[in-house]
A and B are shown apart, each in its own frame.
Chain A
């Protein structure tokens, strides 16, 4: 994206039944503290509700948190759904994702994956990078 000087807007959500929201809440506060505008949708979201929020909020990035080993199914699904809706918005996945799954997620168009224990600097710089504000670092 073009650097407009406006803060990055990020939609954060958990899809389906997964109720592990500790990490996502912490990430929400990290990003907010870093000056981003966080749209926290929280639990039990669907691809439709995420897309609606991205459209309404004119979001720059989507962050999906996954702790239930469903990332290989749901990660590609959300990327495809955004694509289908004509939204060119990068998707970051956070949570429990084994390293061996990274190539598959990358191939499916997931922009970045943040694992357990990712420090605040990495979280913030990753979101900035996928939003196109920083060069790759």
Chain B
């Protein structure tokens, strides 16, 4: 990176302009670090996963060679739902939209020949998150890397699953207990690990507005704080390790206002409501992904421009890491070439545009400050509502909002409003309802995952099942059930033992379902 910090024409630049509070100062509206990207660029973390663990391992290595600085794992639907590849419902889904992981052996293949002590890894998984974390840890320790050295993020944000993404397994309360067990475990044993990535991304993709995304996400964050504190943790013992994940959508300044408001709200609530004193607890750090839902199947190359603008909004909003979507994502999983172009887009922003030289370059703009305040004000209205229906507890308010269908109804309403605006032409989507000349996607090379992948994965699973010690498996499942039954016991140790015995994700999940039950949603249209 250029160290001189001057413009292209040679005009010298200070690290920040304007009045306080400056970046790095409470309430962190302008950023969590004083000099932001001068000292450290955001992590370029590209989400990847398809086919078998070996297929995805190849993509990981390619991304690391191309300059990615962190890994991010997409699991397939059966894994996300805690089912094995040979489960009847897995038919047609194995390895299609992510990588299939059934046992610790798949996890070992996934990270084969990658130094887990030297890379940070994000795992996008929620319902069975604790099990996948156990697998990652076991693989690392078998490779000689102690759990205390592992850096990364587990999404592990179950509340937004009921609200938006719908990858829930158990009912909300036992699910939040699992999340809390992971928070307690990592607080004690994995100091470099983020146990939860509180995620607005999926809420937004499901159709919410920017304000709803922000408000629901922060409310979920408050809910995890309340749950962990109720489990006996001091807020400063774990809050510094909670991270966030937001969407960067097409409305440029609204998004930047959203990111800035997020930091200010979190800092104030953590200090004033939850009594945090460690300033690291007050600093909201977040990952950003550009808006998959804004990408069009029509004229897919146009998506490169959308992604670049959304990525820029994330950077101007002060993100700590960034995934840029590939332009072919409205058609299929990203091809290798499209994924590379998406990464190059970040590199252009980082190394060519000069936006990294000055922290919060938009701070002080009348419009940006106003939209930040306005987004914050509207989010506070949502918190008041949840606090009220929760009887003074955001956690209880969130449970109530899930149970009554309130979140889902709000999101569905916003999604429908957006669709009507596009249909009426009131809102222009280039290539969809305007400028449609040249619509033809047939020239794009798409990534295809064949049915053979599923057959191979099922065969592999059958081999593991036949070769493992079935008594050890049964014993490990017995311990999982016993520990699940006692809410005061942390489930992580028994999950680690089960994973070591090569018990499958599906077997562990079914054992837990026996204790926790399964969640069935009432459809809200």
Contacts and interface: CB of A to CB of B under 8 A. Distances in A.
A117 interface: yes
A22 B412 CA distance: 7
B416 A69 contact: no
B205 A22 contact: yes
B6 to A, nearest CB: 44
Interface residues of B, number: 44
B278 interface: no
B330 interface: yes
B505 to A, nearest CB: 13
A115 B90 CA distance: 24
Contacts of A121: 423
Q: How large is the interface on A (under 10, 10 to 19, 20 to 34, 35 or more residues)?
A: 35 or more
Interface stretch (B140-148, B233-241, B292-300, B341-349): B292-300
B206 interface: yes
A117 B433 CA distance: 9
Contacts of B39: none
A63 to B, nearest CB: 13
Interface stretch (A40-48, A53-61, A80-88, A128-136): A40-48
B8 interface: no
A137 interface: no
B205 A43 contact: no
A19 B206 CA distance: 10
A98 B423 CA distance: 23
Query: Which of B77, B205, B422, B521: most chain A Cβ within 10 A?
Result: B77
A67 B293 CA distance: 12
Contacts of A16: 77, 89-93
A46 B91 CA distance: 11
B449 interface: yes
Contacts, number: 104
Nearest to B440: A99
Interface of A is mostly: mixed
A25 interface: yes
Given A16-B91, A43-B521, A22 B293 contact: yes
Contact of B297 (A28, A30, A115): A115
Contact of A18 (B77, B330, B412, B451): B77
A40 to B, nearest CB: 5
A69 B92 CA distance: 8
B216 to A, nearest CB: 15
Nearest to A120: B423
Contacts of A115: 297
A119 interface: yes
A29 interface: yes
B207 interface: yes
A69 B484 CA distance: 35
B442 interface: yes
Contacts of A19: 77, 165-167
A96 B92 contact: no
A72 to B, nearest CB: 8
A46 B88 CA distance: 10
B432 interface: yes
B416 A25 contact: yes
Interface of A: 16-19, 21-22, 25-26, 28-30, 38, 40-44, 46, 67-70, 72-74, 77, 96, 98-100, 115-117, 119-121
28 contacts: A16-B90, A17-B89, A19-B77, A22-B205, A22-B206, A22-B293, A25-B207, A25-B415, A29-B416, A29-B525, A38-B525, A42-B523, A46-B89, A67-B97, A68-B77, A68-B96, A69-B332, A69-B333, A72-B92, A73-B92, A73-B451, A96-B297, A96-B331, A96-B332, A100-B442, A115-B297, A119-B422, A120-B423
Given A16-B91, A17-B81, A100-B442, 16 more contacts: A17-B83, A17-B90, A19-B167, A25-B412, A25-B525, A29-B525, A40-B525, A68-B92, A69-B96, A70-B91, A70-B92, A70-B96, A73-B451, A74-B91, A77-B91, A117-B297
